[in-house]
Each structure stands twice: as C-alpha cells, then as structure tokens.
Chain A
Amino acid sequence: METKKRTIVLGISCFYHDSAAALLVDGRIVAAAQEERFTRIKHDDNFPERAVDFCLQSQGFAIDDVSYVVFYDKPILKFERIIQTYIKVWPRGLRSFLLAMRIWLKEKLWIEQTISRKLKYEGEILFTEHHYSHAASAYYASDVNDAVVVTIDGVGEWDTTTIGFAEGNKLTLTHSIHFPHSLGLLYSAVTYYLGFKVNSAEYKVMGLAPYGDPKKYYSAFQKLIDIQEDGSYSLNMDYFAYEHELSMTNKKFNELFGGPARESESELTQRHKDISAALQKIIEEAVLQIVRQAKKLYPSKNLCLAGGVALNCVANGEILRQNWFENIYVQPASGDAGGAIGAACYVYFDVLKNHKEDGVMPNAFLGPDYGNGEIKNFLEEEIIKNMKLPLRYEFVGDDKIFSYVARLLANDNVVGYFQGRMEFGPRALGARSIIADARKKENWQRVNLKIKFRESFRPFAPTVLEEYADEYFDLRGKISPYMLLVARVKKNDIPAVRHVDGSARIQTVNRSQNQRYYDLVHEFYTLTKCPVVINTSFNVRGEPIVCTPRDAFNSFLNTDMDYLVMQNYVISKKANPDMDKFKNTDRYLKEFKND
C-alpha cells in the first residue's frame, strides 16, 4: 500500500539574535530549539546547526526527508534598507557602513548557500518576510480560526510594526510602519542608555519600571515619540544615533535625560528607575493605540500578537484590561527565535494551502528531553566515576515524587526542577525551572542574590494552578500559560511574587499542558492551601537556560540551590557535603557574559 508522503518544513532564524530551528511535520510543530541552549552562548546568533540536528534527530528524520527549508526573512530587502539608510544619513555613518558591509558580504548575503552547505541540503530553500514570520508564529500556533494580527519588533526588512488579519489558512498583513520609526528600537535605545545589553536585557528595564515615577520623564519621551490617534507613530531621529553610529543614542538624548548613559554594572539610581517607568508608560500607550487601530480595521474577537515587543507582558496586561478581545494569544517565543516557527507555518498553511486545525503548537515543550535512564547514566558515569564526586542520590517513583518535592518546597527549600522536554522561547515554564515557596518574602532576595546572582530589583513570576488563577490574580477569566500577561495580585499571602506595584507576571498551569509540573503545584496546594509557587528560569545571570542534565548539575553545584530534581532522581546538597569541594562559583559565573 502506498503511504502519503509527509510534508516536513524546517524553519530557520539566525544571524541577528536568538538563532533557532523549528520542525513542522504535516501541520504540527514537533520540535523547536534555540541554538544558545546547545552552545551555552546566550542569544547566540550563529547558524543553528545544533538546533537543526536536534529537530531532525529527535523525530528520526534526515535532512533529505525535509520538503522545504524556510528562512525567516528576506535578506536582499534587508540589505536594500541598510543601503538606503546610508544614502539618507550620508556623509555620516562610515564606521557603521564598514562594519555592516563586512558582515553582509561575508555572511548575510549568502544565506541560501550557507543553508545548503551547512545542512548538506539540496532541496527547496524559501524566504518569508520577517513580519509575516512573526505574524504566522502567533496566528497558526493559536487555536482560533480568525484573528486581528499585530506584530511589533525592532526591525525586519523595512517594517517595524504591522497590522493584518487572518482567517483559516490565509494571513494578510495590510498596514505597516517603516524603519527608523520603531517601538522595539526605542526600547532598545533606552536599554542601552540605562547600561544594559541591547537585544538581551530589555526585560530588566521592564522589571525596573515599577520602582520609578513615570511622570518625571514623561514629557521627555513625548519629545522622542509622536503617537497619532490611528496608532501610527514617529520617532524624533534628532535624539537617536542607530541609523549611522554604532551606538543607539546621541548627545542630544543624553542632554534630554540629564546625563550620559549609565555604565554597565554601576549603581542604579532613582533617575534610571524614573526613566524606565516613563518608557514603559509611553510604550503601553503606543501599543494600546496600535491594537485599538487594528481592532477598528478588523473587528475580530481574537487578537494574535508577536514580535519582540509582544514579550512586554506589562503592555499585554494593559490590552487584556481593555476587554476588547475574547481571546488574546501571544506567541511564547515572540522574538526572532519564534520566526523559525512562523516561517515554517506560513509555508505549510498559506503557500501550500493546507487546512488550519487546532493543535499546531499545543504547548512550548518542544526541546530535548532526557529519560531516567540517561539521567542515571549521567550521574553514575560523569559525576561519580569521571568527576570522582561520591554523590548520593535517590530515585522516587511517580506515585510519590510530586508530594515529596512539594514537601521540600514547603520546608523552605529552593529546588531545580528538570522535567521532560525543554521549553522553546525565553520563559521557563516548569520543565527547566527553579522553584520555591511564594509565601516567603525572603525567597525573593535569596533566589536573586544567592542562586541567580542577579540584580536584587528583579521580580519573580508566579505559577498558579489554572483553576485558582482568578482567585489570586486579576486575570479576568483569561489564562496565561506562557507567562506573558501581567496582572494585579489580589491576595497578600504570596509576597515573594508580588512586585512593588502589586503586580505579577503570571503563568497559569493546567494538567493537559504540563502534567508533571501541574501535579507538583497541586501537591503543594494540598499541603499548604496555596496554589502558587515561584517559578524562575533554571540558569544563572547571563547563562542560557539549562538544556542537559550536565548543565543542570553544573548550575546546581555552583549555586546555593538546595535540591535538584531531574525526572525521578533527587539530589540534596545536605546529603552531599562533599559537593562543596567541587564548587567554584566564581569560575562558573565567569563562563557567562552579563547582560
């Protein structure tokens, strides 16, 4: 009997930041991963060879089985934008021009050849538009059949913001705002000014904002950006340098904000906090106007959001509070990594005209997983035999593991929780997470300073059982499985996840999405009557989220985490006093660059 040939589409995003690969098989995303998780270089932008290998090998495919490889943007259009920009700013921009030409001529203009050569692929290579990739990553991953689609990011080819609609297997972007006017670049410019790493630490600025007074610098931001009633906006380029310099902002920008850019790692003053707060306020206003305009143009009850700015969960929370939509779907990997998913989806549905069904991407657990056998082998061979660490560990069966770990949490332990397939996207959702008791306020500082080694102002996100979400948070009946909505905390008994402005970035969890995480939080609830735990990514500052048992063990060894739970294996620091001899936190932290 002849079997139907499967349609296998490999999406790739790379060469800017957050390189990634995603594999779509017959309309389902079956695997996706960011290159950084394998190379251990945060936001790695190199060609995602290892991520591609993982996607294919985990599903038992070879590169020859792939029907199409799709790159997530159109390089020549992007190159045209760069040349046009140098024409516009000439005679300024020589240094930036030389740097850009070196990269473009060496690498970015040869993407088709790079894909063929690195993957040894002889089939069809396709190119989607950057914002179509973002839009498709949100719409096709959602379980709605029509939607208003909004994408906002730094810049694609020319577009920085787009509005469109989608129905069935047809996605159309109809309106866009062009470079250099960009909410993403405005956010990045201020991130740069505040001494954080661009394209990396924007979320820190978002976390800093609640400590500041938005009124103090609001008028300054009004000079930077002009937001129109119809949601369009323009930046006053007199204050920005990114069109022609290697820096984001210029002297005039410094004068407007009362001083030079903050040195990285120097003290954060109230002025910096006030600037963050004003930026957040103006971004929220702009995003709301854009979404309002989109709703006016295409009155659907569903909204799909993507692009780097869609990771601004505070702005997403504002959209939620407007009650304009019944369903809001934000792609969990809204940044460029998610473009790999979108590029594959766009080809499969829009181009190949396949019918859109629910469940294209039912969750974000698309990365590698490691079974009990592999974990035991790692502990025995790598740790006990090779490293010569006399490790004591225990195996706890599925019937007891969740109540066991829940008791550890209730007894004030911080646990590294390594379970099943790794998440795709920037958030840890219970597969590669550090978890702790949300009722103890001191856990905020403890996890920040002794385990994550990061700035003390950074807040922690709560995971809440979906059925108790509305009791604890002002989510208005919505769910937030990907930690992409911020809402007010209603109860006072979870101080460790309540930010200074009374808000929290919420993850709701149900059993069908993540059984092993849901069961743990549920056991914690049974024990304590609190359905909320702290959930933060399993990594230290500057480190990509852990991927393998080795990464998890290294992180556990070199931090003050109390327990490591990898599938059913439990390792305790107290039971292993010898671990201290192998600990070298300083050396470990030096492996990763601060962001």
Chain B
Amino acid sequence: MNEFKKIFKIAYQYWMKFAYFIGEINFKIIFSALFFVLIGIYAIIKKIFNLTVEEQSGRWVKKKYTEPEIETLRRQF
C-alpha cells in the first residue's frame, strides 16, 4: 500500500510540474493575445482619434472631492 502511495506521490509531483509548465505557456499565449488584440484595439482607436489624457500632462489636476464615508471606503476604486 505504501509503495502505491509513494508512486502516486511521485507521479503527482511530476504531473504538477507539467501542469505548471503548460500553465505558463497558456498564460503567455492568452495574455499576449489579449495585449495585441484587446489593448491594441483600444490603443489604435485612441491614437486615430487622438484621445490624449489631459490629466497626464504633468500639470496640476484638481482632485474630485469625495465625502469621506464608510460606503466610499468600502470600494476598491
């Protein structure tokens, strides 16, 4: 019985290593596609219509006042 456990444990470890390796490849493929397609579409539209963000000009931006309330602090945005 113990021998079986040992074999399964080793097999499991190798399987996890393989899964991690495959996961890495999947991650890179999926997120590279996201970068070039989703981010790319937004970026191209922004560039075509010249939608520059004024807030990123390095000049003072007036901060929007938000009442300090528990409800607003519950939000992560």
Contacts and interface: CB of A to CB of B under 8 A. Distances in A.
B6 interface: no
Nearest to A76: B77
Nearest to A175: B60
Contact of B39 (A97, A127, A174, A350): A97
Nearest to A157: B77
A351 B69 CA distance: 5
B42 A87 contact: yes
B27 A102 contact: yes
Contacts of B61: 175-178
A158 interface: yes
A102 B57 CA distance: 29
A83 B39 contact: yes
A90 B43 contact: yes
A300 interface: no
A91 B60 contact: no
Contact of B65 (A172, A234, A346): A172
Interface string B43-73: 1001000000101111111110100111001
A229 to B, nearest CB: 12
Contacts of B56: 88, 178-181
A98 B77 contact: no
A86 B35 contact: yes
A158 B55 contact: yes
Contacts of B28: 98
A233 B76 contact: no
Given A75-B76, A111-B76, A127-B76, A232 B46 contact: no
B13 interface: no
Contacts of B73: 70, 126-128, 347, 351
B75 A127 contact: yes
A87 B40 CA distance: 7
Interface string A67-98: 00010001111001001101110110110011
Interface in A167-194: 172-181
A231 to B, nearest CB: 8
B62 A174 contact: yes
Given A94-B35, A127-B73, A176 B63 contact: yes
B56 to A, nearest CB: 5
B39 A86 contact: yes
B11 to A, nearest CB: 26
Contacts of A235: 58
Contacts of A164: 63
Given A234-B57, A234-B58, A76 B76 contact: yes
Nearest to A159: B63
Contacts of B77: 74, 76-77, 80
B54 to A, nearest CB: 9
Contacts of A175: 60-63
Interface in A81-124: 83-84, 86-88, 90-91, 93-94, 97-98, 101-102, 111-112, 124
Interface string A118-156: 000000111110000000000000000000000000000
B36 to A, nearest CB: 7
Interface in A223-239: 226, 228, 230-235
B32 A98 contact: yes
Nearest to A351: B68
Contacts of B74: 124-127
A162 interface: yes
B40 A91 contact: yes
Nearest to A234: B58
A206 B72 CA distance: 39
A233 B59 CA distance: 6
B31 A97 contact: yes
Interface in A46-61: none
A424 B42 CA distance: 44
Contacts of B57: 234
Given A80-B77, A162-B63, A232 B43 contact: no
A324 B73 CA distance: 35
B43 A87 contact: yes
A119 B49 CA distance: 48
A199 to B, nearest CB: 22
Given A90-B43, A101-B31, A74 B76 contact: yes
Nearest to B47: A90
B58 A346 contact: no
A84 B53 contact: yes
A262 B59 CA distance: 32
A231 B61 CA distance: 12
A181 B76 contact: no
A175 B59 CA distance: 10
Nearest to A173: B63
Contacts of B60: 163, 175-177, 230-232
B37 to A, nearest CB: 11
A88 B43 contact: yes
Contacts of B55: 158, 178
Nearest to A181: B58
A174 to B, nearest CB: 6
A112 B73 CA distance: 12
Given A126-B74, A178-B61, A90 B39 contact: yes
Contacts of A102: 27
Contacts of B68: 346, 350-351
Contacts of B46: 87-88
Interface in B4-44: 27-28, 31-32, 35-36, 39-40, 42-43
Contacts of A231: 60
Contacts of A77: 76-77
17 contacts: A70-B73, A76-B76, A86-B35, A86-B39, A90-B40, A90-B42, A91-B36, A93-B35, A125-B74, A127-B73, A158-B55, A173-B63, A181-B58, A228-B59, A234-B58, A346-B68, A351-B68
Given A87-B46, A159-B63, A346-B68, 7 more contacts: A70-B73, A74-B77, A93-B35, A94-B32, A97-B31, A158-B55, A180-B56
Question: 10 tightest CB-CB pairs across the interface, nearest first?
Answer: A234-B58, A90-B43, A181-B58, A76-B77, A126-B73, A350-B68, A76-B76, A175-B60, A232-B59, A351-B68
